[in-house]
Amino acid sequence: MRMMASILSFLIILSTTACQTNEDSENIQGQSVSKHTIISQMNAETAEKAAERVERVDKAQAVSLEKDIYIHLNVEGFDRFFLKEIRSQTKKEVEDAVKGSKVQVSTDKKIEMEITELKERLKDHQITKKKLEEEIKKIEEDMKA
């Protein structure tokens, strides 16, 4: 009987402390979300539309930070033989559409993955401006490599 009472009191204590810990962690998580700011991607959206107007570009994805724009182009099939021409034409179109911008264009699949992931995090407001700067710096380095 004593054993049952000990186990029962242990379970009650355990359940009450576990509930208190969860409430604290929820508050901490709520606070961290509020630290993220909305970062405008208007230049990126304009750049995507301008890039998709280029005849051989099937799809474009872009992210921007201030006047820096990083674009991935999806080019399919036979058009891939003309990637250098397509990249330069797209860069010119985007620079005309977003005056005073620094444009980087890539057709690399790794860049596509990084930009897609970054766009999702921006859309969900899950990134700070400092972290965005770090991610964009990494993308820029990958584009140069």
Instruction: Give the position of tokens 């029962």.
Output: 8
Residues 80-112: tens digit of each pLDDT: 999 999 999 999 999 999 999 999 999 999 999
Give this prediction's pTM.
0.72
| Predicted local distance difference test score (pLDDT) of residue 36 | 61
- Considering the domain architecture, whether residues 18 and 65 belong to the same structural domain is answered as no
- Which pLDDT band, with edges at 50, 70 and 90, does 6 fall under? confident
- Considering the domain architecture, whether residues 47 and 20 belong to the same structural domain is answered as no
- Considering the domain architecture, whether residues 15 and 63 belong to the same structural domain is answered as no
| Predicted local distance difference test score (pLDDT) of residue 32 | 43
State the Cα–Cα distance between residues 12 and 77, nearest whole angstrom: 65
Residues 124-139: tens digit of each pLDDT: 888 898 999 999 999 9
Helix axes 83-97, 42-52, angle to 10 degrees: 130
- Considering the domain architecture, whether residues 28 and 81 belong to the same structural domain is answered as no
- Considering the domain architecture, whether residues 82 and 100 belong to the same structural domain is answered as yes
Q: Is the pLDDT of residue 19 over 90?
A: no
